[in-house]
Chains A and B, each alone.
Chain A
């Protein structure tokens, strides 16, 4: 079984500042890791994913995340945020060997970018 913990429920930040959204996971098997973004009144959109290989993965909208196996973390970062990045961000995990792609989500982090 897998679980995901997002350590910050809300992250306020000023425009053009850097941001890091933290995610830790627990699993008895190797995992695939994902970050999704949810804009107001919309569905979940894939930001990026880690499957294997380089531990630093780049996604859409200038976001990147780093997989750290020893710390079981997959933190999301952006060097300079925009007002339009205001949204809810969800970290999710899929255990390798699971049929299909069932995801387990974290609680979400609300990123609020202020001018």
Chain B
């Protein structure tokens, strides 16, 4: 069964550094998402992406964040200048987009900002 893959599984970075989290969604899916889960808290929506542009973003997704689908297979999340509070598990997800079609999630990237 096709799956969403994320790399790296764990990323450690210093405060103020830029990080790029990478995802390869399922190949025929059309909608792509990033979610965040701070330790012990709920899974929070960050951004959705469709037809090569952001379709929706949450209040968390400020100017420090950006997303890109550079080559038709990868889907990346960039954090320009990381803060301690960006430490979290970041999940990529994709879906066909038909009404009610479930999201398929990757295993996540654990980002630790020191």
- With a CB–CB cut-off of 8 A, which chain B residues contact A112? none
Given A43-B108, A44-B105 in contact, is the A94-B43 Cβ separation under 8 Å? Answer: no
Name the prevailing secondary structure of the B interface residues.
strand
When the two chains form their complex, are residues B42 and A105 in contact, meaning their CB atoms are under 8 A apart? yes
- Which chain B residue lies CB-closest to A103? B103
- With a CB–CB cut-off of 8 A, which chain A residues contact B97? 99-101
In the bound assembly, the distance between CA atoms of A85 and B105 in angstroms comes to 19
When the two chains form their complex, are residues B103 and A101 in contact, meaning their CB atoms are under 8 A apart? yes
When the two chains form their complex, are residues B107 and A42 in contact, meaning their CB atoms are under 8 A apart? yes
In the bound assembly, the distance between CA atoms of A70 and B91 in angstroms comes to 33
Residue tally, chain B, CB below 8 Å to A = 29
A63 at the interface (CB under 8 A from B): no
Instruction: Give the contact-size bracket for chain A.
Output: 20 to 34
When the two chains form their complex, are residues A32 and B100 in contact, meaning their CB atoms are under 8 A apart? yes
In the bound assembly, the distance between CA atoms of A90 and B10 in angstroms comes to 23
Interface centre among B103, B104, B106, B108 (most CB of A within 10 A): B103
- With a CB–CB cut-off of 8 A, which chain A residues contact B99? 32, 51, 96
In the bound assembly, the distance between CA atoms of A109 and B33 in angstroms comes to 23
- Which chain B residue lies CB-closest to A52? B100
**Chain B 88-103 interface residues, beta-carbon cutoff 8 Å to A:** 91, 93, 95, 97, 99-103
When the two chains form their complex, are residues B48 and A43 in contact, meaning their CB atoms are under 8 A apart? no
In the bound assembly, the distance between CA atoms of A34 and B104 in angstroms comes to 12
A sample of 23 cross-chain residue pairs with beta-carbon separation below 8 angstroms, ordered by A number, consists of: A34-B102, A42-B108, A43-B4, A43-B6, A43-B105, A44-B43, A44-B93, A45-B105, A46-B103, A94-B100, A99-B97, A100-B33, A100-B48, A101-B95, A101-B97, A101-B103, A102-B45, A102-B48, A102-B56, A103-B103, A105-B42, A107-B42, A108-B43
Which residues in A have some Cβ–Cβ distance to B below 8 Å? 32, 34, 36, 41-46, 49, 51, 90, 94, 96, 99-108
